[in-house]
Amino acid sequence: MKAFEFQDIYTPLQERDLPRPQPREGQVLIEVKAAGLCHSDCLILRDETYSMIAQHPIILGHEVAGTIIELGPRVSGFQIGENIVSALISHPISNADLATAIGLGYNGGYAEFAIVYTENIVRIPLGVTFAQAAVAADSISTAYHALITEARVNDTSTVCIIGLGGLGVAGIQVVNALTRAKVYGIDINTRKFDAAHRLGAVQCATNLEELGHIWFDAIVDFAGAEGIAAAAASAVKAGGRVVLVGIGATEITLDPRSLVFKNVAVQGSIGASKSELEQVLQCIADGRLIPVLEEVPFADIPRGLERLEKGGVTGRLYVDPSKTA
């Protein structure tokens, strides 16, 4: 099968011909119909510690949807021909298992075929495309968890989303689909503002200082650039919440007075639960969420990741490996 395999940080991502995997007990084999390109993969490609993956070489791609074509021994409850997406189960956090996370713990979706563990299978509802389901598995469900579960955004909230890439755009849609909250956007790339406004952002700016007249109930940082956490802690109301998702910076500095005197909570957020993914998929099926997608050719995965690294993408890139033939 055709696949893009990551060897190490010194070797460019390479397309290779590899054996088709065989499902074992507790697994199914899918023909991959859509794999989302995620900025996390950009970080993996230059992470000297290899801390985000369980092995290398590895086929990356952790937003993966496709059709079951083979069942492992003694697998029941699923059928050949079913359309599924692989959940990245991060919650409850005590149940998160990197070893069974597709594209992180074992070979993923930048390939024509992939293994999915049965405990991670979510059936794709009618009306949801493979591409929509794939990006829901990480970017949209991660935004959902960060904003709804951790930031506790509700109808009366005023919330700011920092970083208007794939997660930030999904976050604006999640907020507007599920609440009546006022949502603002921050990004250094002003070309992303038009799309954010079309999706429901009240106002966009290049930094929090430009929105200094607004006190936020919550600020969710999908970028993780240096200095953002401290600025966010100063920009939320008393009792407000700062939720950190992006990991662009390796360290943050906070003035404890900005937290203690205003009783501000700073919360990390990773991924989502299986039930949250199911809720996101139902929102897509109902038409309340419409993912912003751009298909790129399978052969262009390295170039697509380069675009993500440079911050020039609005919404989510994806490939369809089944089109390689």
The pLDDT value given to residue 250: 82
Q: Is the pLDDT of residue 110 over 70?
A: yes
Helical H runs in the chain? 39-45, 130-135, 141-144, 166-178, 193-199, 228-235, 256-260, 274-285, 301-309
For the chain, which domains are there? 2-123+292-323 (3.90.180.10), 140-268 (3.40.50.720)
Quote the pTM value.
0.94
Return the minimum-mean-pLDDT range out of 164-173, 219-228, 247-256, 288-297: 247-256
φ/ψ bin of 163: left (φ > 0), alpha (ψ from -120 to 50), beta (otherwise) = left
Instruction: Quote the pLDDT of residue 225.
Output: 87
Backbone phi, then psi, for 254, in 5-degree steps? -130, 140
Say what the pLDDT of residue 325 is: 62
Mean pLDDT over 1-16 rounds to 94
Model confidence pLDDT, tens digit, residues 31-62: 999 999 999 999 999 999 999 999 999 999 99
pLDDT value of position 45: 94
Phi, psi of 131 (to 5 degrees): -65, -45
Specify the pLDDT at position 251: 87
Q: How far apart are CA 275 and CA 141, in angstroms?
A: 10
pLDDT at position 324: 79
Query: 296 near 319, Cβ under 8 Å?
Result: yes
Q: How confident is the prediction for the chain on average, in pLDDT?
A: 95
Contacts with 133 (C-beta within 8 Å, 6 or more apart), sequence order = 34, 65, 83, 85, 122, 124, 281, 284
Segment 250-274 mean pLDDT: 93
Confidence class of residue 137 from pLDDT cuts 50, 70 and 90?
very high
Task: Please report the DSSP string for 205-227 in residue order.
Answer: ESSGGGGTT--EEEEEESS--TT
